[in-house]
Amino acid sequence: MERVTNLASERPVVIFSKSSCCMCHTIKTLFNEFGVNVAVHELDEMPRGREIEQALSRFGCPTLPAVFIGGELVGGANEVMSLHLNRSLIPMLKRAGALWV
C-alpha cells in the first residue's frame, strides 16, 4: 500500500497500466492529448508489478488503468471518461497542477 501511495504522489497525474491493455492506452492517449505529463507505471513490465496490482485492488481500484490525480485515486477508465464527459476532468487537472492553461 505504501509503495502505491508513494508512486501515486510522484506527479500530479499517475497511471498504473499494462502495456497490452487497450483501455489503458485510451486513457494515456487522452491525457497526452491534453498535454499532461503523466507518470505511467506499466505493471506488466515492472519486477513487482503483480504486487502493486494487488495493492491497487485493496486500495479500491480492481481494474486497470488506475488513475491518480493530485495523489488521490480517481478510478479507472469509466470514472475518467465520466469526468471528461461531464467537463469535470480539466478543472481537476488544473487544481492538481497538471495543466496550466
Q: pLDDT tens, 32-60?
A: 999 999 999 999 999 999 999 999 999 88
- Residue pLDDT, tens place only, 4-20: 889 999 999 999 999 99
80 found inside a domain: yes
Residue 37 belongs to what domain range? Answer: 1-96
* Number of domains within the chain: 1
79 found inside a domain: yes
5 found inside a domain: yes
Kindly report the pTM of this predicted structure.
0.94
- Residue pLDDT, tens place only, 57-92: 998 888 999 999 999 999 999 999 999 999 999 999
Q: Which of 52, 95, 53 is nearest to 72 (CA)?
A: 95
75 found inside a domain: yes
101 found inside a domain: no
**Edge-to-edge strands of the sheet including 13-17?**
39-42, 13-17, 66-69, 72-75
81 found inside a domain: yes
The number of beta carbons lying within 10 Å of the beta carbon of residue 93 is 21
Report the CATH number at residue 30.
3.40.30.10
What span, in angstroms and rounded, lies between the C-alpha atoms of 63 and 54? 10
